[in-house]
Amino acid sequence: MWLFLGIIFSLGMLIPGKHSLKLQYDGDQVFHVVPETFQQVQHLQHLCSTLLLDLWKPQLSEDIWAGEDLHIRVPAPLVQEVKDSLDQHMISYKVLIPDVQELVDQRVPKERSSHRQVPEGYVYTQYHPMEEIYQWMTQIQESNSELVTQHYLGTTVENRTMYYLQISQPSDKAKKIIWMDCGIHAREWISPAFCQWFVKEILQNYKSDPKISRFLQNLDLYVLPVLNIDGYIYSWEKDRLWRKNRSPHMNGTCYGTDLNRNFNSSWGSIGVSYNCSSEIFCGSGPESEPETRAVAQLIEKKKSDILCYLTIHSYGQYILTPYGSTTEPPSNSEELMDVAKKAAAALQGKYGTSYKVGSTSLILYSNSGSSRDWAHTIGIPFSYTFELRDQGTHGFILPPEQIQPTCEETMLAVTTIIDYVDQKYFPDGAVMLTSSSLGLSLCLSVVLIWTLS
């Protein structure tokens, strides 16, 4: 009976909405458990598997370990049964979120303005649906046409257009690229919020901030505000906790591929599922999803110029380095770690928020097919995953009042990394000379010598 209820309620409860059915999570709770013994681990793995509980951290029951945090969403009809089971096995727990739906209702804006928001009036301290983000991208380009261009990247499963923004100071000098994407997982709303904040801060401060001014002389910024557009829209309209894209599988009986298990880096080898109902379903093959292919094709084309690949997620407060599929460190592991530690220190300096730093496989869990690992394996030297706030108090449902502090501190970390990359490849603010600039330099030298003689 409980297995049947687990299947029904692990997906939330469907209730009629004004225009469509919308998943509700009334009475669902999120538990925080730290198992102490191997026997407790075994019981928790059995409980999660048989009741099909929604694991928020880690994503696989096999990754439950003694002494490590476990966050699980328990559907309302199973809450008492799970509590009794934990008590019987003397497993301590605390309730992180006493009512998931109540938290969702508090965080989703009830009314949205029908008026188009101009960049000057755009509210960066609230979450925006995809329609508004599309409008923002167009308007940010129009208002900053000397610096920003919007480029077509590809189309999604549901045939929506993917665009990225390129921030580039006009120059005849050859420049390198920093890539940043947000929103690969639909429910992680703080991620697209940060990409928008990042663009705003660069455009507002590049003339007055010497660090930004310097690295924009040498580096172009490519920003993809929402990678998983279909999933993001679905998380607004149907299911706040949706993670994957919206590709249909098994004749439409289940939907979605985890795009961060779909890249061609040790694809399907560890930390994934081949069950299309799973949150970490890796797809039918590497780059099986159009969103993954769109990103991969652009990055492959530009890889000789890309110095740094940043992908923004939530939650947990981590800066993660390659690799997730092996504990064997990359060749530049020491440098990757040093830079990440500097970034975490800069972040902590703002509000005291503490981030863990390390490779995914060593400090979080094993996974394969991630964009971060793939980027590093094709030759991009600096590749990081950010897992933003918090550590589970709100989880994926981070309140809007935390957008600003989260973005402010993350901005410090990201610009620390970009500044390091800039100074490494362009020491003393030097820029690579093109033939025209080299010719001008030689002419000036000849004139100077002639004058002095």
- Mean pLDDT rounded to a whole number for the chain: 90
Amino acid letter, residue 54: D
Catalytic pick from 279, 387, 408, 409? 387
pLDDT tens-digit map of 350-369: 999 999 999 998 998 899 99
More confident residue, 120 or 44: 44
State the pLDDT confidence band at 6, using cuts at 50, 70 and 90. very low
Interatomic CA distance for residues 99 and 104, integer angstroms: 9
DSSP string, 334-385: HHHHHHHHHHHHHHHHHH----EEEEHHHHT----S-HHHHHHHTT-SEEEE
Contact of 376 with 322, CB cutoff 8 Å: yes
What is the C-alpha R_g of the chain? 23
More confident residue, 448 or 427: 427
pLDDT at 14: 52
State the pLDDT confidence band at 111, using cuts at 50, 70 and 90. low
Burial 6-39 (b: 16+ CB within 10 A, else e): beebbbbbeeeeeeeebbbbebbbbbbbebeeee
387 is catalytic: yes
**Region at 250 (left for phi over 0; alpha for psi -120 to 50; beta for the rest):** left
Interatomic CA distance for residues 111 and 167, integer angstroms: 32
pLDDT at 173: 87
Contact of 395 with 55, CB cutoff 8 Å: no
Interatomic CA distance for residues 209 and 205, integer angstroms: 5
CA 74 to chain centre: 25
In the numeric block, the tokens 């101009």 are attached to: 118
State the pLDDT confidence band at 13, using cuts at 50, 70 and 90. low
In this structure, what token pair is assigned to residue 55? Answer: 């694991």
Cβ neighbourhood burial of 332 (10 Å; 0-12, 13-18, 19+): middle
Mean pLDDT for 77-90 is 96
pLDDT at 22: 82
Mean pLDDT for 296-319 is 98
pLDDT at 5: 43
pLDDT at 287: 97
